Amino acid sequence: MSTTVSSSSAVTPSALSSAIGQHTPVDDATVQRWRDLGWWEQRTIRSILSEAAQREPDRLALVGRRSNGQRPTRTYAELDVTAHTAANALASLGVGHGDAVVVMLPNWIEYAEIVFGVMEIGAMYAGVPVAYGPLQAAPILRRSKAKVLVVPRRWRSNENLELARELRREIPTLESIVVVDDEAEGLGDGEHRWSDLLDAPDHGVPAPRPDQLCYLGFTSGTTGEPKGAMHTHETLIYSARLQAEHLGSRTYGDPMVQLVASPVGHHTGFEWGIVFTALLAGTAVHVDRWDPAWGVEIVRAEGITAFFGAPTFLQDMMRTDLADGRGSSLACIVIAGAPIPRNLPTDASEALGAFISPAWGMTECSIITASSPDEDPAVLRTDGSVFAGSELRVVDLDGKDSGPDVEGDLLMRGPALALGYYDRPDATADAYRDGLWFATGDRAVLDGGGRLVLRGRTKDIVIRGGENIPVTDIESVLFDHPDVVNVAVIGVPDERLGERVRAVLVQRQGSAPVDLRAMSDYLLDAGLSKHYLPEDVVHLEEMPMTPSGKIQKFKLRGIGA
């Protein structure tokens, strides 16, 4: 089913613009149409948790599998209470409607409690992966005007509290740092241990409206600074509900027990690990690291039935003894976020005894295409069929429909789409076309049955293991190296990760070659996150250039390391 939406108004602000306090091209007529059709339900994410607690109070909502061997749990009744406690704690720090809370934690069960607490008091949540460095975290905190940052004291080799202090010195809106940690020593002014806030009085903050902004999903493209995709409760709930309906809720297990291995600081871990699980009143098993062997143990020990993640995770599972299909509880695995090898879904379905659903989505719209078990098996060699209420187009350079099986630029529109970019009306205007069509930056075809087949990306990013690696972050640092005169960072195919990152350098004459170790040390010293580091480096005497002075990156991809 599709909806016809009207063009946005450039003159009269919509009621939605007033509700979110930001410019959005979504007009009043479109909002009313989506509500009349039931796509926007006027529910909040916090109310979904309360409904699940009423239906299944004794069912496990959260299981935390930590690297240190701990296994904390929460039933739905308990989570409903601890989420309210989290709301009280945040309100005691002055957080209220419209304030931004940024969470930078591993996949611990406290993450979900805090997110639901944020939703309860009408604040906005934004996630930062716990391994990020200052170059990636600072723009998110600055653009969101974050009031509170939640961190562990440290995680693995990262000193997160020290990082938070550095960021707080730079960002004037950042009033409080909250540390999820057992240690009480060494905290200063404006720094709070999470457990010390849990006896805060009842907040008394009015319940949020479903049309309020509740989530900023930050995503990077070619412009360098991350852009915050603006979501309300209604855009997120639509995608989660339609995902359940498209495949059938029992496809994921009855009840669903989901392995949450994708970082909750990314959109996948948040939307599917937290929101979707609560919608189905399932159990979310959060793991704070991904190791295939350990993952197999958890699948068996916890009776995992479902998983959402990049193809890399599935390929890892295929290299374990789960692939013999014996003793596996897995029922459904949804793979998206990176190029999908076309034989993988069928091969994995046979090996794991589970339905494998290729899917497509973005932070800006969550997943809006997926393969369902009721469709022709040929759908497994595509990126799925579109959800009811959403639409796709593939267009040529003139903006005209390309026709079946003809490659072009992929556009989408519908109730899952973000309302624009936070405090970036310029970026919003660039992304939306007439009729509320959103330019995804992907190249694709629609086959004769309307199923999506991705062909590549126009956005200059590398997708490694399902994570977007914005190459401009790396290039901008390498351009400052005293021995580098030109640089290009590209993605090259990788069997396991989909893509890996390669740096191509042109150095000053007579300088010693900057090898991989030296380059990595330089990037880390400059504050780049470890998992943005290139895997290899290639040296050239000069870059292939266009007459206008642009590097021809497509020529670089054919050059071996």
What angle is formed at CA 287 by the lines to CA 286 and CA 290, rounded to 5 degrees? 145
Q: At 61, is the secondary structure helix, strand, or coil? A: strand
DSSP 164-228: HHHHHHH-TT--EEEE-SS--TT--TTEEEGGGGTTPPP--PPPPPTTSEEEEEEE--SSSS-EE
Amino acid in position 302: E
Structure tokens at 32: 């009313």
Q: How far is the CA of 241 from the CAs of 117, 249, 251, 351, in angstroms?
A: 21, 9, 14, 29
CA atoms within 13 A on the CB side of 248: 12
Along the 561 residues of the chain, how does pLDDT read in single tens digits?
A: 333 333 333 445 689 998 899 999 999 999 999 999 999 999 999 999 999 999 999 999 999 999 999 999 999 999 999 999 999 999 999 999 999 999 999 999 999 999 999 999 999 999 999 988 998 899 999 999 999 999 999 999 899 999 999 999 999 999 999 999 988 789 999 999 999 999 999 999 999 999 999 999 998 643 468 899 999 999 999 999 999 999 999 999 999 999 999 999 999 999 999 999 999 999 999 999 999 999 999 999 999 999 999 888 898 899 899 988 666 899 999 999 877 888 899 999 999 999 999 999 999 999 999 999 999 999 999 999 999 999 999 999 899 999 999 989 999 999 999 999 999 999 999 999 999 999 999 989 999 899 999 987 766 678 888 887 877 778 878 988 999 988 889 999 888 888 999 999 999 899 999 999 999 999 999 999 888 899 999 999 988 875 445 677 878 887 765
| Contacts of residue 125, Cβ cutoff 8 Å, sequence gap at least 6 | 100, 101, 102, 103, 115, 118, 119, 214, 215, 216, 270
In angstroms, rounded to a whole number, what is the distance separating the alpha carbons of residues 45 and 278? 9
Q: How far is the CA of 440 from the CAs of 207, 222, 362, 365, in angstroms?
A: 34, 13, 8, 10
Structure tokens at 35: 């509500």
Task: Give me the numbers of helices (H) and strands (E) for the chain, helices first please.
Answer: 17, 26
Structure tokens at 232: 């309300």
CB 385 within 8 A of CB 362: no
CB 1 within 8 A of CB 389: yes
The β-bridge partners of 437 are 433
Residue where the block lists tokens 């993450």: 111
In angstroms, rounded to a whole number, what is the distance separating the alpha carbons of residues 272 and 527? 30
Q: How far is the CA of 438 from the CAs of 313, 392, 423, 424, in angstroms?
A: 29, 9, 18, 15
Structure tokens at 79: 């989570």
CB 233 within 8 A of CB 119: yes
CB 207 within 8 A of CB 124: no
Q: What angle do the packed helices 471-478 and 134-144 form, to 10 degrees?
A: 120
The β-bridge partners of 158 are 155
Q: At 503, is the secondary structure helix, strand, or coil? A: strand
Q: Residues 309, 220, 342, 361: what is their CA dihedral angle, to the nearest 10 degrees?
A: 60
Q: Residues 25, 29, 32, 33: what is their CA dihedral angle, to the nearest 10 degrees?
A: -100
CB 372 within 8 A of CB 246: yes
Q: Tell me which residue of 218, 234, 205 sits closest to 20, measured CA to CA.
A: 234
Which DSSP state fits 47?
H
CB 229 within 8 A of CB 418: yes
